[in-house]
Amino acid sequence: MRRLWLLLLSCLVSQPLFAGEPLQARDAWVREAPPTAQMLAAYLTLLNPGPVDRVVTRVSSPRFDHVMLHRSEVVDGIARMQHVERLVVPAHGTVRLEPGGLHLMMPAPQRRLVAGEQVRFVLELEDGEQLRVEAEVKKKP
Ligand SMILES: [Cu+2]
């Protein structure tokens, strides 16, 4: 009986807290880069339909050795990028990763990605939930 209780308890604990209103990703894309490019960038829009802030703490992809979360900004006329440790998507809010702002940055893979290909990213949230995102490689200026 005690064992059953423990089992039940562990099931309850491992349930994602906000399973009813998961974070959503839209319009994910990877910018096609020339063959000489060292780094690639990806963009997407995150929507949080729930009443609680959601926090992205890590991003990975089977196509890249690692994925970094960056913010581009201009300080004293010089453009630079900063690592983002925690990306907060506010309750009932939207966060856009777009050129010139927040973005995902990856070292270019051995085999070049070309327009039309699909790339999967996995976003890990602070509460343990994972969000899988399919991004299309696109040719954009
Ligand atoms: Cu960057």
pLDDT tens per residue across span 32-61: 999 999 999 999 999 999 999 999 999 999
pLDDT tens track, the chain, 141 positions: 566 555 555 555 555 554 568 999 999 999 999 999 999 999 999 999 999 999 999 999 999 999 999 999 988 999 899 999 999 999 999 999 999 999 999 999 999 999 999 999 999 999 999 999 999 999 987
Q: Bridge partners of 96?
A: 45
Q: Is 132 a domain residue?
A: yes
Q: Is 57 a domain residue?
A: yes
Q: Is 83 a domain residue?
A: yes
* Encoded tokens for 134: 């399919």
Q: Is 108 a domain residue?
A: yes
Residue range(s) defining the domain that contains residue 117: 17-138
Q: Is 35 a domain residue?
A: yes
What's the whole-model pTM score? 0.83
- For residue 89, how far is its CA from the centre of ligand 1 (angstroms)? 19
What CATH number did the domain enclosing 31 receive? Answer: 2.60.40.1890
Our count of domains for the chain comes to: 1
- For residue 124, how far is its CA from the centre of ligand 1 (angstroms)? 19
- Burial profile 55-75: b = 16 or more Cβ within 10 angstroms, e = fewer: ebebbbbebbeebbbbebeee
Q: Is 56 a domain residue?
A: yes
Instruction: List Cα–Cα distances, 54 to 12, 69, 76, 93, in angstroms.
Output: 20, 16, 32, 10
